[in-house]
Structure 1
Amino acid sequence: MKSESKSQHVGKVTHHELKQTLGTWQLWGIAVGLVISGEYFGWSYGWASAGTLGFVITAIFIAAMYTTFIFSFTELTTSIPHAGGPFAYARHAFGPTGGYLAGAATLVEFVFAPPAIALAIGAYLHVQFPGLEPKHAAMGAYLVFMALNIVGVQIAAAFELCVTLLAIFELFVFMGVVSPGFQWSNFTKGGWSGADTFSMGSFHGMFAAIPFAIWFFLAIEGVAMAAEEAKNPKRSIPIAYVTGILTLVVLAIGVMVFAGAAGDWTKLSNINDPLPQAMKFIVGEHSGWMHMLVWLGLFGLVASFHGIILGYSRQIFALARAGYLPEWLSKVHPRFKTPHRAIIAGGVVGIAAIYSDELIQFGGQTLTANIVTMSVFGAIVMYIISMLSLFKLRRAEPNMERPFRAPLFPVFPAFALVAAVICLATMVYFNFLVAIVFAIFLALGYVYFLMTRHQREAAPADALLEE
């Protein structure tokens, strides 16, 4: 009976395979593109609680966490180049339950990030077309880019690289246009949680701003989910990760400082389109520069939105292939070889989130802020589990092939782990209601996990995880 079952699985495997087509430049484009919308919006919500100067300190701490995390995470990605990414590493290190926790957290991160970005796309288009309802524009963005992802990963990655390069160009254009009005006094005025001088109360705002500093870099780890589609993952992924995080750190510092120094930063601290509004301080509302920024600024949002759709679809695909989600979600399109059902499933959840104001808008936060925070909760839990997996695998499997080894081990992964734990603790304190919702998601998922053991036992053998 077992041999019959196994032969059936062998026949199934061809329906669960992804094409290896991605090169180094395309992976770099995915790495930066996944994140670059974080330079266009989201981070400015951190100013509302921390002020500009307080948020700089928070952002530096988070940048250090991400830099050490990425250097450590790359070891896992190159050792286990699997579409499941963190799910695969945790399952390899801690078994099915560890795989569930990492997979569920990653799924929350990647499914809840796109609706926040889609709402920002809607806000940018609303600037250009005041009669256009932002939520309807957000839903339209989902439909267009889900279709593009279904057509093929090669086309999707080429598009991602192009829009990422345009988005980077546009950020430099923004900095150049607002530079004539640059005044450091604008940036520093009320820079400590609305006050001009530092006080103990400033710490409160700095910790509360952590989710929005994370938004600067959130989802860069999504490159791991394209590992099965990379031509040479052991060489190209380390290059993509390292150059990607350095690119993003430079852009984050530049955008934040130039926007805050352009005028009254308090007018930018609770909106979805801070860059066009910052440019208004310098060139006025009807300038051609404004229209150019709105249109080209969309490239940054589109790059992340499109890239994260790729990321969530691979996570859903990998979880379903391993029996953690219904098996039908792991089917690939017979012609395009993309996980079309996973792409559509994540899109349905995202569109529902966009239209769920009453459910998601609570705790005094805007809809976008709560969606961002939910996504960040998933990310931080996944970072913690990933670093624990790295330590476990170093000890349990010292002879595992590691094409890239985390530098300064154990210092880098230990710093990333401790920083992530601090972030999680402060986020629970400042966003308790969102934390409860996140915990409910994990608990419901765990009940499903316990009830579907037979799915995992019947799933096709996964050579990358069984080695």
Structure 2
Amino acid sequence: MKSESKNQHVGKVTHHELKQTLGTWQLWGIAVGLVISGEYFGWSYGWASAGTLGFVITAIFIAAMYTTFIFSFTELTTSIPHAGGPFAYARHAFGPTGGYLAGAATLVEFVFAPPAIALAIGAYLHVQFPGLEPKHAAMGAYLVFMALNIVGVQIAAAFELCVTLLAIFELFVFMGVVSPGFQWSNFTKGGWSGADTFSMGSFHGMFAAIPFAIWFFLAIEGVAMAAEEAKNPKRSIPIAYVTGILTLVVLAIGVMVFAGAAGDWTKLSNINDPLPQAMKFIVGEHSGWMHMLVWLGLFGLVASFHGIILGYSRQIFALARAGYLPEWLSRVHPRFKTPHRAIIAGGVVGIAAIYSDELIQFGGQTLTANIVTMSVFGAIVMYIISMLSLFKLRRAEPNMERPFRAPLFPVFPAFALVAAVICLATMVYFNFLVAIVFAIFLALGYVYFLMTRHQREAAPADALLEE
């Protein structure tokens, strides 16, 4: 019977395979593109609680966490190049339950990030077309980019690289256009949670701003989910990760400083389109530069939106293939070889979130802020489990092939782990209602996990996780 079952699994695998087509440049485009919308919006919500100077300190701490995390995470990605990414690493290290926790957290991160970005796309389009309802525009973005992802990963990755390069170019254009009005006094005025001098209350604001500093870098780890589609993942992924995080750190610092120094930063701290509004301080509302920023600024949002659709679809695909979600979600399109059902399923959840104001707009925060915070909760839990997996595999499987080893081990992964735990604790304190909703998601998912053991036993053999 075991032999028969194994043969059935082998026959099934052909319906669950992805094509290896991605090169280093395309992976770099995915790495930066996944995140670059974080330079266009989201981060400025952190100014509302921390002020500009307080948020700089928070952002530096988070940048250090991400840099050490990515250098450590790359070891896992190259050792276990699997579409499940963190789910696969935790499953390898801690078994099915560990796989569930990492997979569920990653799913929350990648399914809740796109609605926030889609709403920002709607806000940018609303600047140009005041009669266009932002939510309807957000839904339209979902439909267009789900279709593009279904057509093929190589086309999707080529598009991602192009829009990412345009988005980076536009950020430099923004910095250049506002530079004539650059005044450091604008940036520092009220820079400590609204006050001009540092006080103990400034710490409160800096910790409260953590989710929005994380938004600067959120989802760069999604490159791991394209590992099965990379031509040479053990070489190309480390290059993509390292150059990607360095690119994003430079852009984050530049955008934040130039926007804050352009005028009254308090007018930018609770909106979805801070860059066009910052440019208004310098060139006025009707300037051609302003309209160009709105149009080209969409490239940054589109790059992340499009890339994260790729990321969530691969996570749903991998979880379904392993029996953690219904098997039919792991089917790939017979012609395009993309996980079309997973793409559509994540899109349905995202569109529902966009139109769920009453459910998601609570705790005194905007709809976008709560969606961002929910996504960040998933990310932080996944970061913690991933670093624990790294330590466990180093101890339990010292002879595992590791094409890339985390530098300064154990210092780098330990710093990333401790920083992530601090982030999680402060986020629970400042966003207790969102934390409760996140915990309910995980609990309901765990009940499903316990009830569907038979799905995992019947799932196709996964050679990458059985070695």
**Range class of TM-score, shorter chain:** over 0.9
Write the deviation string for residues 257-295 of structure 1: whole angstroms up to 9, x where unpaired.
Answer: 000000000000000000000000000000000110000
Secondary structure, aligned partner of 1:191 = coil
Alpha-carbon distance between aligned partners in 2 of 1:91 and 1:286, rounded to the nearest angstrom: 54
Alpha-carbon distance between aligned partners in 2 of 1:66 and 1:7, rounded to the nearest angstrom: 43
Alpha-carbon distance between aligned partners in 2 of 1:4 and 1:84, rounded to the nearest angstrom: 27
Give the deviation of 1:409 after TM superposition: 0.1
Write the deviation string for residues 219-255 of structure 1: whole angstroms up to 9, x where unpaired.
Answer: 0000000000000000000000000000000000000
Secondary structure, aligned partner of 2:441 = helix
Give the deviation of 1:6 after TM superposition: 1.6
Secondary structure, aligned partner of 2:217 = coil
| Aligned position for 1:76 | 76
Secondary structure, aligned partner of 2:22 = coil
Give the deviation of 1:3 after TM superposition: 2.0
Alpha-carbon distance between aligned partners in 2 of 1:417 and 1:4, rounded to the nearest angstrom: 44
Secondary structure, aligned partner of 2:294 = helix
Alpha-carbon distance between aligned partners in 2 of 1:460 and 1:140, rounded to the nearest angstrom: 35
Give the deviation of 1:392 after TM superposition: 0.1
Secondary structure, aligned partner of 2:325 = coil
Give the deviation of 1:9 after TM superposition: 1.1
Alpha-carbon distance between aligned partners in 2 of 1:291 and 1:363, rounded to the nearest angstrom: 34
| Aligned position for 1:232 | 232
Alpha-carbon distance between aligned partners in 2 of 1:205 and 1:71, rounded to the nearest angstrom: 29
Q: Which runs of 5+ in 1 are unaligned?
A: none
Alpha-carbon distance between aligned partners in 1 of 2:71 and 2:399, rounded to the nearest angstrom: 20
Secondary structure, aligned partner of 2:197 = coil
| Aligned position for 2:66 | 66
Stretch moving more, 2-11 or 92-101: 2-11
Write the deviation string for residues 74-129 of structure 1: whole angstroms up to 9, x where unpaired.
Answer: 00000000000000000000000000000000000000000000000000000000
Write the deviation string for residues 286-335 of structure 1: whole angstroms up to 9, x where unpaired.
Answer: 00001100000000000000000000000000000000000000000000
Write the deviation string for residues 422-448 of structure 1: whole angstroms up to 9, x where unpaired.
Answer: 000000000000000000000000000
The size of the alignment, in residue pairs, is: 467
Alpha-carbon distance between aligned partners in 1 of 2:451 and 2:340, rounded to the nearest angstrom: 26
Give the deviation of 1:165 after TM superposition: 0.0
Give the deviation of 1:8 after TM superposition: 1.2
Secondary structure, aligned partner of 1:276 = helix
Write the deviation string for residues 8-32 of structure 1: whole angstroms up to 9, x where unpaired.
Answer: 1111100000000000000000000
Secondary structure, aligned partner of 1:296 = helix
Stretch moving more, 258-267 or 4-13: 4-13
Secondary structure, aligned partner of 2:36 = helix
Alpha-carbon distance between aligned partners in 2 of 1:383 and 1:400, rounded to the nearest angstrom: 21
Alpha-carbon distance between aligned partners in 1 of 2:33 and 2:339, rounded to the nearest angstrom: 20
**Alignment RMSD:** 0.3
Give the deviation of 1:2 after TM superposition: 2.3
Alpha-carbon distance between aligned partners in 2 of 1:406 and 1:328, rounded to the nearest angstrom: 37
| Aligned position for 1:386 | 386
Alpha-carbon distance between aligned partners in 1 of 2:369 and 2:222, rounded to the nearest angstrom: 21
The yes-or-no answer on 1:280 pairing with 2:280 is: yes
Alpha-carbon distance between aligned partners in 1 of 2:287 and 2:13, rounded to the nearest angstrom: 56
Alpha-carbon distance between aligned partners in 2 of 1:306 and 1:100, rounded to the nearest angstrom: 25
Secondary structure, aligned partner of 1:455 = helix
Give the deviation of 1:368 after TM superposition: 0.0
Alpha-carbon distance between aligned partners in 2 of 1:264 and 1:55, rounded to the nearest angstrom: 16
Write the deviation string for residues 394-419 of structure 1: whole angstroms up to 9, x where unpaired.
Answer: 00000000000000000000000000
Alpha-carbon distance between aligned partners in 2 of 1:232 and 1:6, rounded to the nearest angstrom: 28
Please, what TM-score do these two structures have when normalized by structure 2?
A: 1.00
Alpha-carbon distance between aligned partners in 1 of 2:231 and 2:124, rounded to the nearest angstrom: 36
Q: Which runs of 5+ in 2 are unaligned?
A: none
Secondary structure, aligned partner of 1:417 = helix
Please, what TM-score do these two structures have when normalized by structure 1?
A: 1.00
Alpha-carbon distance between aligned partners in 2 of 1:220 and 1:395, rounded to the nearest angstrom: 27
| Aligned position for 2:189 | 189
Alpha-carbon distance between aligned partners in 2 of 1:55 and 1:96, rounded to the nearest angstrom: 39
Give the deviation of 1:7 after TM superposition: 1.2
Give the deviation of 1:193 after TM superposition: 0.1
| Aligned position for 2:218 | 218
Alpha-carbon distance between aligned partners in 2 of 1:131 and 1:79, rounded to the nearest angstrom: 51
- What aligned pairs does 1:199-210 form with structure 2 within 5 A after superposition? 199-210=199-210
| Aligned position for 1:12 | 12
Alpha-carbon distance between aligned partners in 2 of 1:71 and 1:419, rounded to the nearest angstrom: 15
The percentage of aligned residue pairs carrying the same residue is 100
Alpha-carbon distance between aligned partners in 2 of 1:50 and 1:80, rounded to the nearest angstrom: 39
Alpha-carbon distance between aligned partners in 1 of 2:236 and 2:251, rounded to the nearest angstrom: 22
Alpha-carbon distance between aligned partners in 2 of 1:45 and 1:437, rounded to the nearest angstrom: 21
Alpha-carbon distance between aligned partners in 2 of 1:337 and 1:461, rounded to the nearest angstrom: 19
Alpha-carbon distance between aligned partners in 2 of 1:329 and 1:223, rounded to the nearest angstrom: 21
Alpha-carbon distance between aligned partners in 2 of 1:190 and 1:285, rounded to the nearest angstrom: 25
Alpha-carbon distance between aligned partners in 1 of 2:30 and 2:5, rounded to the nearest angstrom: 38
Alpha-carbon distance between aligned partners in 1 of 2:366 and 2:404, rounded to the nearest angstrom: 41
Secondary structure, aligned partner of 1:216 = coil
Alpha-carbon distance between aligned partners in 2 of 1:115 and 1:5, rounded to the nearest angstrom: 41
- What aligned pairs does 1:67-466 form with structure 2 within 5 A after superposition? 67-466=67-466
Alpha-carbon distance between aligned partners in 1 of 2:2 and 2:438, rounded to the nearest angstrom: 39
Alpha-carbon distance between aligned partners in 2 of 1:369 and 1:121, rounded to the nearest angstrom: 15
Secondary structure, aligned partner of 1:406 = coil
